[in-house]
């Protein structure tokens, strides 16, 4: 930390923000939202916004984690996890008290007249050894004003986010975790066997409610745990395809308008009022890990088909049960913008007609260098020409059904 003008605690908060911003997408991760009435005061360490709901994260890091022995480390965690709870309860109690704001690294100043409905709160403290919090359980409730509260080490929390990759999946894990015994819920720094058991059971804890039981089960089936972890790593890889696309949306190609027909420019936000890209990001971040992974796999396949080609265009469609949307993945090489735009517009209409969905989300890999994304209007009604295109290009396609109900 030498040479830095910030404390290790501040440094740790920035590191957590950066790590959360990778899978959860930076635009929905806010560090240190504040209010200014009567003086500037931080409301919470981290705020995650998802589907107009919020997750509160209160964080405590040690300035010198190596100086404490096991006993003193446990005392530090017990004290600081209680301190981490205080801003959580304050924010839950008065989410609309005073207008709030946050300086975001990409969005600039973002105002919050009130915090969106809070669906979960997480108190995290730095520890590299398990700490049992039961001696302070009276001061560490598992919910407050009907908002569930989870206690984790910083390292375990970040590992969960990096493994599960999406807010829906993280919330599903935390909800399933609530069925564990109160004693297990008040241990921080020993999450690995619980997460492995969750993967082993396909996204459930089964009948296990105690931490020692989870350790025995994962040890007895270590080979199956390794297989589950390998599957999850595969999901993470393909989910990363769409995470990368969502992240790239934040930066516009400076030459995006070059070669576009004049009548197509109105489809893009003006440079000084970009907002639709956040809506597109939100659609991607709202997907669960398996959903994002299988869509990412489809996008990867179309990109691979154009690898090494000088001029070509290939596409693939996918949809998810329960979501009234068809996804159209396109990869092109050497096609001029007007021609590519015309073909993709035709394919999007054909996909809507063929799959009978409300809208079509289009993701285009352009020459392996840029991405173009588009969403059709929800009130668009397919034309007879769309029906013909759908019958020609999508009806003959080979269909595959993939069960994504479990991890």
pLDDT of the chain, 407 residues: tens digit per residue: 444 578 999 999 999 999 999 999 999 999 999 987 777 889 999 999 999 999 999 999 999 888 899 999 999 999 999 999 999 999 999 888 788 999 999 999 999 989 999 999 999 999 999 999 999 999 999 999 999 999 999 999 999 999 999 999 999 999 999 999 999 999 999 999 999 999 999 999 999 999 999 999 999 999 999 999 999 999 999 999 999 999 999 988 777 777 777 777 777 777 777 788 999 999 999 999 999 999 999 999 999 999 999 999 999 999 999 999 999 999 999 999 889 999 999 999 999 999 999 999 999 999 998 999 999 999 999 999 999 999 999 987 677 777 777 77
> Per the structure block, which two tokens stand in for 203?
């996204």
- Cα Rg for the chain, rounded, in angstroms? 24
Cis peptide bond prior to 38, omega within 30° of 0: yes
The correct CATH number of 8-193 out of 3.40.91, 2.60.40, 2.30.30, 2.60.200 is: 3.40.91
Q: Domain limits of the chain?
A: 8-193, 238-393
E strand or H helix at 323:
none
Burial of 70 (0-12, 13-18, 19+ CB in 10 A): exposed
Q: What is the pLDDT of residue 3?
A: 47
Alpha-carbon span 109 to 45, nearest angstrom: 16
Give the pLDDT confidence score for residue 4 in this predicted structure. 55
What are φ and ψ of residue 202, in 5° steps? 70, 35
Q: How far apart are the C-alpha atoms of 170 and 172, rounded to whole Å?
A: 5
d(CA 98, CA 91): 11
State whether residue 79 is helix, strand or coil: helix
Long-range contacts of 173-180 (CB under 8 A, 24+ apart): 173/198, 173/203, 174/120, 174/122, 174/148, 174/150, 175/148, 176/203, 176/204, 176/205, 177/150, 177/205, 178/142, 178/148, 179/205, 179/209, 180/205, 180/208, 180/209, 180/210, 180/211
């Amino acid at each position: 930390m030498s040479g830095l003008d910030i404390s290790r605690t501040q440094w740790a908060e920035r590191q957590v923000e950066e790590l959360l911003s990778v899978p959860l997408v930076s635009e929905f991760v806010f560090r240190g939202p504040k209010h200014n009435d009567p003086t500037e005061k931080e409301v919470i360490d981290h705020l995650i916004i998802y589907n107009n709901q919020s997750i509160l994260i209160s964080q405590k890091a040690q300035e010198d984690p190596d100086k404490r022995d096991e006993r003193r480390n446990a005392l530090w965690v017990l004290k600081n996890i209680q301190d981490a709870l205080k801003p959580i309860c304050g924010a839950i109690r008065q989410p609309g008290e005073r207008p709030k704001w946050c300086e975001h690294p990409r969005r600039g100043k973002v105002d919050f007249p009130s915090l969106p409905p809070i669906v979960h709160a997480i108190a995290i403290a730095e520890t590299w050894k398990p700490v049992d919090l039961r001696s302070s359980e009276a001061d560490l409730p598992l919910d407050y004003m009907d908002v569930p509260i989870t206690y984790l080490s910083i390292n375990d929390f970040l590992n969960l986010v990096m493994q599960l990759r999406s807010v829906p999946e993280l919330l599903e894990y935390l909800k399933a975790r609530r069925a564990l015994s109160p004693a297990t819920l008040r241990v921080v720094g020993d999450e690995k066997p619980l997460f492995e058991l969750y993967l082993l059971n396909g996204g459930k804890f089964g009948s296990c409610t105690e931490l020692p039981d989870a350790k025995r089960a994962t040890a007895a089936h270590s080979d199956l745990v390794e297989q589950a972890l390998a599957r999850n790593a595969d999901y993470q890889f393909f989910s990363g395809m769409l995470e990368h696309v969502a992240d790239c949306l934040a930066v516009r190609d400076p030459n995006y308008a070059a070669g576009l027909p004049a009548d197509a420019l109105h489809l893009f936000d003006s440079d000084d009022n970009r907002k639709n890209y956040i809506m597109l990001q939100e659609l991607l971040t709202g997907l669960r890990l398996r959903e994002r992974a299988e869509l990412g796999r489809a996008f990867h396949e179309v990109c691979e088909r154009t690898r090494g080609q000088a001029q070509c265009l290939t596409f693939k469609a996918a949809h998810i049960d329960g979501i009234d949307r068809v996804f159209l993945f396109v990869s092109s090489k050497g096609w001029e913008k007007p021609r590519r735009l015309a073909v993709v517009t035709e394919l999007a209409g054909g996909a809507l007609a063929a799959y009978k969905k409300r809208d079509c989300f289009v993701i285009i890999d352009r020459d392996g260098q840029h991405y173009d994304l588009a969403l059709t209007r929800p009130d668009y009604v397919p034309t007879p020409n769309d029906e013909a295109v759908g019958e020609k290009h999508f009806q003959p396609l080979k269909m595959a059904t993939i069960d994504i109900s479990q991890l």
